[in-house]
Every structure is written in C-alpha cells, then in structure tokens.
Chain A
C-alpha cells in the first residue's frame, strides 16, 4: 500500500499536470457534493466558453516563457485587435465581409507579435520592457481608434464565431481544442518545438550548438500575437458592446494560468497539459465559489481565494522540486 502511494506521488512529482488534475478533481467532487447542479451541461459549457480564449493565448505564452522571455502585452493587444475587428466589421463603419476581416485581424495580431519579437531578439531590449511599453502604447492606440465611442452592430457572420455552436459545442471551444492540438504537435513533433526548449533551458549551449536563437524568439512572439488574434475573434463577438477597455488585466490572468500550470519563468520548463489544467482551475474558481452557496460574501473574496490558489500552487511546486532533488 505504501509503495503504491509512493508510486502515485512519484508520478505526480514527475508530471505536474497529474497533480493539478487531481486537485481539480477533488474540487469538482467537493462542489458537486454541495451542489449537484454544477455538473449540468449548461454550466460546464459556460466554464468552457470562459476558458477558451484564455487557453488559446496561454498556449502561445507558454512557449514565450519557455524561451526565457515574457510577454505582458497580450491584454492591450487584444484590446487593439478588438477595436480593429470592430471598426472593420461593424455594419455602420467598415462593413467588410468576414472573409476579409478574419485574416486581417489575425495578420495584425501576428505583425504586433513580430514587432515585439524583433525588438526583443534583434534590438536586444529585455522582453519585460518591450511588452510593458507595448501594454501602455497599444492601449493608447486602441483609445485613438475608438475615440470614446463603442461598437454594437457586429454582423452575424462575425458574431457566429463568438456565439455559434457546431455539434452542440461552441465554436470558441472547438477553436481552443484545435489550437491546443496544433500546439501539442508543434511542441512534440517539430524541430522548432525542441529548439524552443533548448534555448530556454540553456541559452549558452544553444548558441554554441548553432541554433537560430533570434528567429525562434521572433517566432514565439509572433505565434503569441497570432493566437491573441484567434482569441479575440472567438471571444469579443460574444460581447454586445466593443469598447476600448477590452482585455484590461488579461495579461496577468494568462501569466497566472501558465505559471500555475507549472511553467518556469526562467525558461526551459513547461508543458501543455499543465497549462490546460492551470487554465481550467483558474477559470473554474469563480464559478465554484458561486455554486458552493457561500452567500454574498464569497463574491467579494473570490480574488483573495484566487491569490491563495496561486500561492498554493507555487508553494506546492517548490516543495515538489525539493522532493525531486532528494
């Protein structure tokens, strides 16, 4: 029996996702015991829809963190992309067909990512500075574009991306699934995936081995920009109003999910399963608190509980990595 526990424990130490998964499972059991309606299809679907854009961006951001860089501009980037998409697609402004708006939004996202990547890799500015600057500047551009107005008349073609379903499952969830699978393929099946990890775990060795460090760094930032575009397309049309405040604070939520999922900020370590569990956990918490029937107080304490979960995840990680060493 003791050996069995030790085996399970060793597995959890080895695979971060397993530990998180177990934790999510316990939380689910607890909330279902208190309130069985939690497991109703409608509720699970709402959680999935909330998690989808976070999951999409996290897949990109994880790779950025794995190369040892950071990107805190995704929130403002999403704001700008939403403004661009709204201005191009809305019936009263551009009224362009979705076939044009979608590739253009993705293209702008990728260009912004390329700019980030170029400034980091080729101009040699620390990524936290570049993306902090972008966080501020892009929000300014968004406000310039929106000029204090808001957009409420998105055409049905674009709206479908946010609210439509296919086989009973929302489009955004399908998209998140696709992005996740592509990311899995990218990380595990391609040379570039291996190189991303190589650069993050030992930059010096990677340079000596002749890996193209700069292009790969540009790639991860551009990929994150592209995915931010995807997330914008599937999440913003759910809203009835597009204004200049979309995506404020998103960067911190995404980084939190990625870090809770076991990605190291110093680079080299990170796995997609863990990130997915991190996303599910962080988006579940607020709903769980409501379903626990803790009363009105719980809503005020939700951020504190979220903070405690993050601290808990970090401490668990610290403890586990100590166990691994001994």
Chain B
C-alpha cells in the first residue's frame, strides 16, 4: 500500500496537477477577474484546435514517432473546404471532403513511415512542405471567406454552456481514453514505443497500427482545421503555421517521453491546460506576448528536467 502511494505521488501527472492548481491559485491572487468562468470560457476558444490535435499526437509520440505535418494538413484541408465551398459544393459535403483529405494525408504519412522504414521526423518534415505547398498552389495564396453564419456556430457557438469545439474535444478524449485503457490497443501502443521489434515478434501488427495512428492524426488535424475555419470564417493557406510545435510542446510538457512508451492522455490534458493558462494569463495580466514565448520555452525545458528527477525518485523509494 505504502509503495503504491509512493508510486502515485511521484507520477508526473500528480506533479503537473499540483502545478496547475498552484498556477490557478497564483492567478486568483494576482487577478481574480481572470479565473471567472465566462472569461475562461471565452479564452478557451484559442486552445481547442491545439487540444484536439494533441490527442493523436500523444499516440504518435507514445509509439516513438513524431508528426510534424499536422499544421500543414490543417492548411491543406482548410483550403480543400474553402475551395469546394467556393465552387458551389454544399457545406456538409465540403466538410466531409476536407476530413477525407486529412485522412488521406495522414495515411500517406503512415504509408511512407511503415513501408519505406524512414524516420517519421524526416517523412513528416517533407510532407509538411509538400502539403502546405499544395495548399498554397491550389488556393494561389488567396483566402476564401463568406461562409454562412450557421457554420460559425461550430467554431464559436455554445451547447449546454460549453463551446461546441470543447464537446468535440471531450468526446474524442473519452473515446481515446476508453481505447487506451479498456482495449488491448492501448497496451500495444505502449509496447511499440518501448520496443517495436519485440512487439512485432509478439505477433502484433505494428505496421498496421502505425498506419492507423498516423491516419487518425491526419483525420483529427482536418477536424481541427474545420473548427478553425468556422471560428475565423476564412480558409487560408497559412492556417496552422507552427501548430505542430505548439502541440508537441503541450504533449511533452504533459510528461510524454519523446522516445515513446511513457506518458498518458491525462498528462497531455494537464500539459495543454498548463500551456494555455500560462499563455493567456501572461497576455491578460502583463499584456506582453514576448514574455509568453520565453515562459513557454523555459516551461518546456524545466518540466522535462523535473520529470527526469521524478522518474529517478519513483524508481528509488
């Protein structure tokens, strides 16, 4: 029992939860207006796209891979949606096509990674340039706007007091938590991250799983792109620029090891919360965006150092 408590106490998630709690305490002291529900709800609109993509990114990093192309997939799918809508295609159909485009992009990544045995970092670096390039090419770098106001509900509207995008995130999270904890899928994901060769020899179809995970990542990026287009009411080729780094930062701050096999979706959620609250509070209270970048970079490096210390502590009771 004592050992179990010791184990839980030194989990990165516990440490992160404490950090988030103390951050909220600090913010409440400095600026009570900031932690009001309606302010938080309003500010949360900035975070949903990042939060949604962080879920598949957690899976990708847990398998020991990385996906740098998520921002570019957002750009390509947003443009697919915009161009189809502009050419008179009904909006639901255009959204479906955008989702399909995202899934195809993700599947292409997965295919290259599993068939060519090339490092995911390299492949997704290349497809990042290619996907965004295609988006720029077909849109000729021009924005598309004029979506109907009913579409804006998807990105800006509320349902039962919570943003629609938030419901989507929660739904996706619940499904993935179930997949990770109640199905063999989760165990296999960790196994691939810890030792993919051994996993393959255990009769698990590693390639098929990786293909599925990267495809999922592409599809979810498309979903995020649809939300972003709905929120901004425009589709542009430079959408999602730099998204990949923000998402990876959130996942890594959440305690997921960049080498795979360690971490959890719960940690990722706390990581997103930590990044989002820090970012919004620095902008809100000091009104300085440059401090934001500095804080984010320092947070990333420090949290990894702390997690290293925690792991050490956990291993030696």
Q: Which residues of A contact B (CB under 8 A)?
A: 70, 119, 123-126, 128-130, 132-144, 252, 255-256, 259, 265-266, 297, 300-308, 310-311, 314-315, 318
Q: Which residue, A70, A137, A142, A305, has most C-beta atoms of chain B within 10 A?
A: A137
Given contacts A133-B298, A304-B137, contact A140 B118 (CB under 8 A): no
Answer whether residue B127 sits at the interface, using C-beta atoms and an 8 A cutoff. Answer: yes
Answer whether residue B233 sits at the interface, using C-beta atoms and an 8 A cutoff. Answer: no
Once the chains bind, are B305 and A125 in contact (CB under 8 Å)? yes
Once the chains bind, are B118 and A314 in contact (CB under 8 Å)? yes
A142 to B66, CA, bound (A): 28
Once the chains bind, are B245 and A135 in contact (CB under 8 Å)? yes
Given contacts A301-B137, A314-B122, contact A135 B297 (CB under 8 A): yes
Contacts of A256 in B (CB 8 A): 125-126, 129
Contacts of B289 in A (CB 8 A): 143
Contacts of A132 in B (CB 8 A): 245, 248-249, 252, 300
Contacts of A255 in B (CB 8 A): 125
A-B CB contact pairs (8 Å), 11 listed: A126-B259, A129-B300, A132-B249, A133-B249, A140-B293, A143-B289, A252-B128, A304-B130, A306-B129, A307-B129, A310-B126
Answer whether residue B119 sits at the interface, using C-beta atoms and an 8 A cutoff. Answer: yes
Please report the total number of B residues contacting A with Cβ < 8 Å: 43
Once the chains bind, are B130 and A307 in contact (CB under 8 Å)? yes
Least Cβ distance of B293 to chain A in Å? 3
Once the chains bind, are B301 and A129 in contact (CB under 8 Å)? yes
A130 to B304, CA, bound (A): 9
Answer whether residue B175 sits at the interface, using C-beta atoms and an 8 A cutoff. Answer: no
Known: A132-B245, A304-B136, A307-B126. 12 other contacts (CB 8 A): A119-B301, A123-B305, A125-B301, A128-B258, A136-B249, A140-B297, A141-B294, A143-B293, A265-B119, A297-B137, A304-B134, A307-B132
A179 to B13, CA, bound (A): 47
5 closest Cβ pairs, A-B complex: A137-B297, A304-B133, A307-B130, A140-B293, A303-B133
Contacts of B259 in A (CB 8 A): 126
A297 to B139, CA, bound (A): 10
